[in-house]
Structure 1
């Protein structure tokens, strides 16, 4: 009989996650569970449906000492050790299937503002069919350190004000007023009736997750794409950022919809030939009453050339 021990170490890479989204998701899940109730051993959802594959066998629902058992394949048991929004949630679990016994403990410190998520467990084989003799694992995710590392350096007071102004629209108001003054000083009308739209793909930093980046096969760039609308003096009206694999003609539908909502005086939008795809031109005319005019490259030309009216966007990058 051969015996031995194997030790395995594995590292997981965690992609950046919005802190606000994570906290709201945890609160929502906790609220959904809080709305459940029991009828005998059955657990009922808020709409009266029975939660399948789990029964309450001892204690009071969602209180310390409550014991739940899984009724699907395998033998599983869950015990609530602590359940509180302020101090946190801690649950122990155990199950046995195919000769393998698994025991673990999961703890989330504070539900309102999660700070630490801990998990640890052990496995042990029983019987001839057990594929694992013994195993043990632990994990501790300190969420405050995680979000600090994602954010990089501490946010300055000026940056906090800038984010607050951007969220409330103050920066947009300042931008529009500055554009009006510059146009009036140049002897133009305060509002323009025609604009130029274009996009540019740029490389994303290493901290950018796969969900927000894409591959631009034409430019051979893995990163983000910024879509910009400006007037003929290169003064910006609207900016939108997407993964680099997004097609400009498809993104332009949302971009032009925002433009028509914020600047109803716009009647003409100049763009390169890439924006003539996917039926953008008739769609913009039918639903937004905006005429999209595509500027095509001169025939038999190669490489980068400045298209008529396109130079205004190039100055804005």
Structure 2
């Protein structure tokens, strides 16, 4: 196994701001409606590429198809092995299924996308949206043609929001990483853990990232040799990737957290 540890310094996100942001997004969606034009927002703007093809708006079991131009994609449900809706056509590229929509309990959505003979399936849940406590995401990729099957993988990620801020804002050390992810390829498994440290004097977070790589199944001995030989190069690549993500975060997050709820709502509406 190869393990890489690296610490980055990032701009913090105040928890009250996160609560407001989730509320703004949820409210915008709940105030919308769907008709023959597409998704109609509260201010009358229409997002024409979204169609409700099954069920009632935001009710469990409702299905939405996102189109991307005629002939440019396939219906994601086909790739997921589900039946094709009569209202769908060959231009469909993505399908969203609502499993649960309750602002007190959870929002649970499934997304299936097909692009260039590769299918991506995601399953995401936000527990307690009124006071976000837990985010869980699971997904997998599937390849149609034989060469693409080499890129098939599955993964899951978990962010315990109710543990993240106590760890980031105090000296309390969590018993396990509040943020974790696992990615499984047929040959290699990658585990990622992130632990925040108390806020610095400048208000930013120190986050320790740990990435662990190991071989899987019969290839474990071979993977161990490869990881040992390429350890230095892999470490550099991991550190560079983590630093790049931190730089992007620090470039974008300050502008977002500077917005209050009304400003965020207006920005989201203008982006349509």
Of 14, 32, 35 in structure 1, the residue corresponding to residue 28 of structure 2 is 32
TM-score, L = length of structure 1: 0.44
Query: What do residues 280-312 of structure 1 show as CA deviations (whole Å, max 9, x unaligned)?
Result: xxxxxxxxxxxxxxxxxxxxxxxxxxxxxxxxx
Q: Is the 8 A contact 1:99 1:129 kept in 2?
A: no
Structure 2: gaps of 5 or more residues: 74-92, 173-199, 207-272
Say yes or no: does 1:152 pair with 2:148: no
CA distance in 2: counterparts of 1:18 and 1:40, whole angstroms: 40
Shift of 1:89: 0.1
Say yes or no: does 1:96 pair with 2:114: yes
CA distance in 2: counterparts of 1:22 and 1:110, whole angstroms: 13
CA distance in 1: counterparts of 2:5 and 2:49, whole angstroms: 32
Q: Is the 8 A contact 1:150 1:207 kept in 2?
A: no
Q: Which position in structure 1 is the counterpart of 2:97? A: 79
Number of equivalences:
155
Within a 5 Å distance, the mapping from 1:4-43 to structure 2 comes to 16-40=12-36, 42-43=38-39
Q: Which position in structure 1 is the counterpart of 2:194? A: none
Say yes or no: does 1:62 pair with 2:80: no
Query: What do residues 81-136 of structure 1 show as CA deviations (whole Å, max 9, x unaligned)?
Result: 00011011000111110111111101000111010011110001112673853111
Q: Which position in structure 1 is the counterpart of 2:265? A: none
Shift of 1:17: 1.3
Of 112, 115, 140 in structure 1, the residue corresponding to residue 130 of structure 2 is 112
Higher relative contact order (CA 8 A, sep 6+): 2
TM-score, L = length of structure 2: 0.51
Query: Residues 19 and 129 of structure 1: is their aligned pair in 2 closer, same or farther, counting only changes over 3 Å?
Result: same
Shift of 1:143: 0.2
CA distance in 2: counterparts of 1:79 and 1:33, whole angstroms: 14
Query: What do residues 172-194 of structure 1 show as CA deviations (whole Å, max 9, x unaligned)?
Result: xxxxxxxxxxxxxxxxxxxxxxx
Structure 1: gaps of 5 or more residues: 1-6, 155-203, 211-317
RMSD: 3.0
Query: Residues 116 and 16 of structure 1: is their aligned pair in 2 closer, same or farther, counting only changes over 3 Å?
Result: same
Q: Which position in structure 1 is the counterpart of 2:225? A: none
Query: Residues 84 and 10 of structure 1: is their aligned pair in 2 closer, same or farther, counting only changes over 3 Å?
Result: farther
Q: Is the 8 A contact 1:41 1:57 kept in 2?
A: no
Query: Residues 206 and 135 of structure 1: is their aligned pair in 2 closer, same or farther, counting only changes over 3 Å?
Result: farther
